[in-house]
Amino acid sequence: MATTHFVIPGTVFAWNRVKSGDMVLLKSGDHGDLIINNVGDHTALVNVIPENGAIITLNRLVINTCTNLVFNGKGKVTIRSKGQTSADVPLVSVLGGQGNVVQWCYIHTAASRTGWQAAQWLKARDGVFVAGDDCKISNNTIHNVRTGITLRGWSCDAMSNTIDGFCVDGIRMLADYTTAADNVIMHSFMGNPNNHNDAIQLWSASAANPQEGILNGVIIQRNRIFNRSTAPGGLREMQGIGCFDGVIRRALIRDNLVQTDHYHGITLGVAEYCTISGNTVIGSDPAGIRQPWIMIGTNKTNRLSWRNTVTGNKAMDFKLTGNYTASGNQDLEPTQVASLMPMDALEPLLSAVA
């Protein structure tokens, strides 16, 4: 029979008492580091939620070797940096296990980035790191971080999140069969001047040498990506969707809107059997030199791309090499951008910079 448990801030809770099908209610207050170990199995979900009316703050959330645990913040949980926790420690970590979910949380290093310079960005925390399999990160608001979401586990999803303000990458997809869908990713800032910030960056983290890795079966669809480094607030140029190391195979990249001020709108170094379709890749600065393209090329190993399909896209330029099929694509001029993304539609994004 399912049991309801209560977690009170400042007390030790015995997570080993929680069984599959149970519900865990968080009492209002600051829970500090919430570390959940070895909870759940394959028979039923474990739900961890705020008690009705509760407002929760955490310094970090760790879900360690759990199965089918759903942490639902319900818009009432804020996970923020506090004290001297190292920038190398993510605000949310899902380590091992499978089938876990983190959703509807506010996740940030600090609520405001006003006045931040490169030194403050370099001290920012990573948002969410996922190393379990079949996990889902959804409907979270993540801002003022180094990297927003890292998918290191097999078949994990990042869906319907807003990532606003980062200094490394918005989303990293580093394992096979991961999905990034329906996310909003915007506002890239200067941290390390040697880093090329990306909205979505891909490579296989399981390979000893990234140049020799093969990333299989990823899906990137219906994301909205925006950056304009000429806007007030210290933004930096941002690459859109890119796989620059190793081989990407059987990827589906479709129906994304990428509006940025860097050449790399959608770029796949070595691609095999990939589909790029229905995307709109346009410049956020019509007067800028760097207008974004859709590219399939070669990487540092000079391996050729093979049997890719590029259909129904709109972009400022197309640079396609290797063996591919292309049809129904439209090569845009800077003067056409305003009709695709009018300035009044950009105002909410621009006003969110500070």
Q: Is the pLDDT of residue 279 over 50?
A: yes
Q: Mean pLDDT for the chain? A: 92
Give the pLDDT confidence score for residue 302 in this predicted structure: 75
Concatenating the DSSP letter of every residue in 179-244 gives EEES-EEEEEB-SSTT---EEEEE--TTSSSGGG-EEE--EEES-EEE--TTSTTTB---EEEEEE
Whole-number Å distance between alpha carbons of 99 and 171: 20
Who's near 167: CB < 8 A, 6+ residues apart?
118, 121, 122, 124, 145, 146, 188, 189, 190, 191, 192, 195, 197, 236
pLDDT at 211: 83
Q: What percent of the chain has pLDDT over 90?
A: 79
pLDDT beyond 60 at 345: no
Rounded-to-integer distance, Cα 233 and Cα 230, Å: 9
pLDDT above 80 (res 230): no
pTM of the model: 0.95
Mean pLDDT of 327-351: 71
Inter-CA distances, 200 with 130, 185, 266, 267, 299, Å: 15, 9, 9, 11, 17
How many of the other CB atoms lie within 10 Å of CB of 354?
14
- In whole angstroms, give the CA distance from residue 253 to residue 278: 8
Q: Tens digit of pLDDT for each residue in 47-67?
A: 999 999 999 999 999 999 999
pLDDT digits (tens, 9 = 90+) for 61-107: 999 999 999 999 999 999 999 876 777 899 999 999 999 999 999 99
pLDDT, tens digit, 9 for 90 and up, residues 27-47: 999 999 999 999 999 999 999
- The answer to whether the CB of 174 falls within 8 A of the CB of 200 is no
pLDDT band at 120 (very low <50, low <70, confident <90, very high): very high
Residue type at 217 in one-letter notation: G
pLDDT band, residue 349 (cuts 50/70/90): low
CB 147 within 8 A of CB 127: yes
Tokens for 233? 């607030």
Tokens describing residue 6: 């209560």
Q: Does the pLDDT of residue 288 top 50, yes or no?
A: yes
Could you read off the pLDDT of 161-219 as tens digits, one per residue?
999 999 999 999 999 999 999 999 999 998 888 888 999 999 999 988 888 899 999 99
Structure confidence at residue 299 (pLDDT): 65
Closest CA to 250 of 195, 306, 204: 306
